[in-house]
Amino acid sequence: MRTFQQIAELRAHLRAARDDGQTIGFVPTMGALHEGHLSLIRRSCNDCDRTVVSIFVNPTQFGPNEDLDRYPRDLARDSRLCQEEGVDALFVPTVADMYPADADTWVEVPELSKPYEGAHRPGHFRGVATVCAKLFQIVQPHRAYFGQKDYQQLLVIQRMVADLCMPITIVACPTVREPDGLAMSSRNAYLDREEREAAAVLSRALFEAQRLFEAGERSADELRSAMVRVIESEPRARLDYVAIAHPQTLAALETVHDGCVALGAIRIGGTRLIDNVLLGVTLNHQARRPA
């Protein structure tokens, strides 16, 4: 595995592979890698001749009072994990190279960015879309791998790629969970022991919606109330939102149908956690709840 900081050097390396007819898979991350990231990397290594992983804690997707400064960083460990998985190139650009002082171009996907995470984190998806557009321009992958864990982000990226005619296939990968159901996240490292225990309440609430849907409940209000009740049963959790939404448009629904998404966000202490599940869809697209 080779590690690149310079855009031009990575480009030259990948140009040779592309000219050779090799397929390039890309996994953009912010580092502090866990099994969720590794599942994307494995999928890419399995599908593509070369896999590029980027590690870049993207400042433009953090709000002014968010955790940019304390976001976990461990490049030595991340690099070892990538090497072990058979990654071809690790790209670790600097903030100055990704955002030169005179840069003035932004990518926005305004409708999909409006609700849920966008409403709670103004500017977040503009930062995500912009950095992904730049990384896609640099790497020019055939396929890029994203986790369903960040469902709204996945939709924003799919929309951007379609709208900007980018010749990239976006591959959605199922959410990897801890044994108690908590979705893996670099931010779980912020939780102390008691907070960590409490954090599983979010996936429990989503699984409850899934269970009720499978038992025949089709009222979004009922499913939402059931999720709120589960979350309110955990005194350490503060609810940001729970919702049942259309899986492509994210529009709020009254009547729920197969394939809709249940989404939620909570705060535990100073840590914000998000998660989602699809309802009634038994595809390998989605990790099932633990038995």
Residues that bind ligand AMP (CB under 6 A): 29-30, 36-37, 39-40, 146-147, 149-150, 173, 175-176, 183-186
Residue among 267, 15, 272 at smallest CA distance from 139: 15
Structure tokens at 18: 């592309």
Q: Least Å distance between CB 187 and ligand AMP?
A: 8
Nearer to ligand AMP, 173 or 243 (CB): 173
Give the integer Cα–Cα distance in Å for 142 and 168.
5
Nearer to ligand AMP, 16 or 76 (CB): 76
Nearer to ligand AMP, 234 or 275 (CB): 275
Residue among 84, 63, 59, 75 at smallest CA distance from 1: 84
Cross-strand bridge partners of residue 53: 27, 90
Give the integer Cα–Cα distance in Å for 285 and 276.
13
Q: Least Å distance between CB 217 and ligand AMP?
A: 27
- The answer to whether 272 touches 265, Cβ cutoff 8 Å, is yes
Nearest residue to ligand AMP on Cβ basis: 147
Q: Least Å distance between CB 216 and ligand AMP?
A: 29
Nearer to ligand AMP, 115 or 181 (CB): 181
Q: Least Å distance between CB 250 and ligand AMP?
A: 16
Nearer to ligand AMP, 153 or 253 (CB): 153
The one catalytic residue in 37, 124, 257, 285 is 37
Give the integer Cα–Cα distance in Å for 160 and 132.
9
Is 34 one of the catalytic residues?
no
Strand order in the sheet with 261-268: 237-245, 261-268, 271-278
**CA dist 80 to 44, 70, 72, 291, Å?**
17, 22, 16, 33
Task: Indicate if the alpha-carbon torsion angle 69, 71, 75, 79 is positive or negative.
Answer: negative
Q: Least Å distance between CB 28 and ligand AMP?
A: 6
Active site residues: 37
